[in-house]
Amino acid sequence: MGMEEKVNAIIEEIKAWKADTNEELEAYRLKFISRKSIIGELFASLKDVAPEDRRQVGQLLNTVKDTAQQHFQLLIQGLEQKRDNEGMQHLKDLTLPPVPGQNGSLHPLTLTVSRIIEIFERIGFDLSDGPEIEDDWHNFSALNFPENHPAREMQDTFFIEKDPDIALRTHTSSVQVRVMENRKPPIRTLSPGRVYRNEAISARAHCMFHQIEGLYIDENVSFADLKQTMLYFAQEFFGKKTKIRLRPSFFPFTEPSAELDIYWGLESESDYRITKGTGWLEIGGCGMVDPNVLSANNIDPERYTGFAFGVGVERIAMLKFQIRDIRYFTENDIRFLQQFKTVNF
């Protein structure tokens, strides 16, 4: 093979060379660039070429050497480009819209509490707050629970200390005692909050749940005011056609006392199941504040009367959103929570 063909064959080989890795680049360098490369060897053999041909062969060798150098630069650039692209894969197309972020949503209990507050704020109720760890006075005694009376057992209390008793509050009525301590009538207040009872956890009951209690004390507050307020609330929350009924009941702090039921209807099989075939559902307790409670809190029972009510927030939320199991509220399962994104009362 003449020198010219040899050089052409090498140029072909150079142009076809690809380097996707550093190893392939290095193999190229060894083969075409280094001193011991085929091109280096050709230069070394130049001394054996007949003097009259040396000039022409030398030009040929310079051409192949330049080609090898140029292609080497191309391979280096190509590899650098590739490395950059890999590092900025996500920035490849800067005109693409961003990946949509996940918007959070309010917890169904937050939604329910806010809605209830909104309903009562419109008729002049303010908000009050108190501690979750309570003494015996605020949770029981000031609310007319007699010492050693079985009514204390009615609310399965988590005691933290005995004598004097310190416990997790079993109802937010304790907040109402704190309000009566600090304010004079007229009082119209709503106390939302977390409460605790030592109950076995099931689909319907939890040892930790939420209540909203309301207290209204003024001159001439009557049972008719209580009933009208409960009807207003039920219709605002569950719909204008909602009917209520008050069933006689007992609480130490109210007299008379009643359970508040709403008419749920008996249209479907599930209506039969959740209302136990009656069509009615209990949503809370209420009554006229017992005069003993007013006296215990230095409010003159001869001059003032009042009503109080309490509803379970989980219970109301479960009815409103048709939630089957109270445990969902505290499990933080995103599949559950996501469903409340679009709720708008």
Helix (H) or strand (E) holding 281: strand 280-289
Q: Which candidate, 138, 233, 137, 237, places its Cα nearest to that of 190?
A: 233
Minimum gap (Å) between residue 89 Cβ and ligand PHE? 58
Q: Which of residues 59-118 bind ligand PHE (CB under 6 A)?
A: none
Q: Is the peptide bond before 186 cis (omega within 30 degrees of 0)?
A: yes
Identity (one letter) of the amino acid at 294? L
Tell me which of 72, 145, 238, 251 binds ligand PHE, using CB under 6 A. 251
Instruction: Tell me the number of residues near ligand PHE by CB under 6 A.
Output: 11
Q: Which of residues 267-326 bind ligand PHE (CB under 6 A)?
A: 285-287, 308-310
CA distance 225 to 232: 10
User: Where in 201-220 is the site for ligand PHE (CB under 6 A)?
Assistant: 213
Residue 14 interacts with ligand PHE (CB under 6 A): yes or no: no
Among 152, 171, 178, 315, binds ligand PHE (CB under 6 A): 171
**Residue with smaller CB distance to ligand PHE, 281 or 286:** 286
User: Which residue among 144, 191, 254, 305 contacts ligand PHE (CB under 6 A)?
Assistant: 254
Backbone angles phi, psi at 303, to 5 degrees: -95, -40
Q: Candidates 144, 173, 229, 275: give the one binding ligand PHE (CB under 6 A).
A: 173
Binding status of residue 140 toward ligand PHE by CB under 6 A: no
Q: Are strands 133-135 and 208-218 parallel, antiparallel or unpaired?
A: unpaired
Going 262 to 264 to 266 to 269, the CA torsion angle's sign is negative
Judge contact between 124 and 214, C-beta under 8 A: no
Residue 192 within binding range of ligand PHE, rule CB under 6 A: no
* 213 vs 314 by CB, closer to ligand PHE: 213
CA distance 52 to 38: 23
What token pair was written down for 332? 């933080």
Q: Which of residues 18-57 bind ligand PHE (CB under 6 A)?
A: none
Q: Which residues bind to ligand PHE, rule: CB under 6 A?
A: 171, 173, 213, 251, 254, 285-287, 308-310
